[in-house]
Amino acid sequence: MTGSPTESRPSKILKTQGHTDQDKEDKQLQDLSMSKNPRIQRYLVAIEYIGTRFSGSQQQPNCRTVVGVLEEAFHKFIGQPVSIFCSSRTDAGVHALSNVCHVDVERISKRKPGEVLPPHEPSVVRRAVNHFLQKNEGDISVIDVRCVPNDFHARFKAQERTYFYRLVSGSEPLSTFEKERAWHVPEKLDLNAMQEACKVLVGHHDFSSFRAAGCQANSPIRTLDELHVCEVRATPYFPSITEREQNNSSLKDSHTCSVKPDVELPINSFSNTNDMVDTNNGKSNLEEFGIRRRHRSYVVTARARSFLYHQVRLLVGVLKCVGTGELTTSDVERILNAKTVTAASPMAPACGLYLGRVKYDLP
């Protein structure tokens, strides 16, 4: 990468700046949310959901939301209303492989109203809530439950959040199975250029250029611990006849020579079948009638303690433009230094974004 002038490089910011006010605000809100009733059990609940089926995660009037559906399922389970607090707010269309929330439950006997019973085991909570969720649309599930102290807040105790963004590249129309699950980019993407751009954006910066209007954070300064893009297998993935034959051959070889390692197929063997040309008719050997040509599939990973409003989607928007050649690494430095969202590229659509993990130091 060609070095840019010193004045165009992203300015360095002391790491102690930016988090102080946020920490104070988090502590105040956490104190307010702490349950004072010793008979109440607080549960930490991890959930997965298809974001395109909801109008976001937070409760909204006259809208189907993640929190609304989850509160309804808990109400049916325990027979009384509950309030659910999410670790991370996701917009309409944004999916979650694992979002985390907490809920306070006081187990009262349904046969003897007023009688308080011992708390349910986490496994019971998971099975029961999933029972009512699956009777609904089945687009949200509880994947884990744990008992936590009454001062444990799903949002403010989170140490780290990881988001994934899926892009698929290729001129073919997007597969029915991928619709609303990824961002389809018809152009080819330059993976190396995108990876170089990530190096500019990772670290401790003023991310005002990647902060959408309406952001309620006190400071635009964030530490982006990881920003990474890689090529992955296209999904849903099913092995071709060539790959099955290669696998069978490797299994036979392993029987004759036990120390020989398994053969790992190169990425081009499942994403670029159009490179294999038949000399008879000029067409791909695997390009047969009724067989869809696969796209190239990429995943952008963004990891940090917290993110600004629409920060990940704005970052991906810039990386996509670098991949298509519309922007250079120097342009990315210029956008970051501009400290205004008007300098950034158009924001990536919500459908490709997945909240992947929320990390805690659990008691």
Identify the H or E element spanning 207: none
**Which whole-number Å values give the CA distances from 30 to 120, 152, 154, 240, in the listed order?**
24, 8, 9, 53
Determine contact, residues 161/358, Cβ cutoff 8 Å: yes
| 327 CB neighbour count, 10 Å cutoff | 20
**DSSP helix, strand, coil percent of the chain (3-state; round to 5):** 30, 20, 45
Q: Which two tokens stand for residue 265?
A: 């197929």
Determine contact, residues 104/42, Cβ cutoff 8 Å: yes
Rg (CA), the chain: 24
**Which whole-number Å values give the CA distances from 331 to 67, 193, 203, 226, 317, in the listed order?**
40, 12, 18, 20, 13
End-to-end Cα distance, the chain: 45
Spot the catalytic one: 21, 23, 31, 91: 91
Residue 31 annotated among the catalytic residues of the structure: no
Q: What is the DSSP string of 293-345?
A: PPPEEEEEEEEES---TTHHHHHHHHHHHHHHTSS-HHHHHHHHHH-SGGGSP
Tell me phi and psi for residue 64, to 5 degrees: -85, 115
Q: What is the DSSP string of 33-71?
A: H----TTPEEEEEEEEE-GGGSS-SS--TTS--HHHHHH
* SS3 of residue 91 by DSSP: coil
Could you list the active site residues? 91
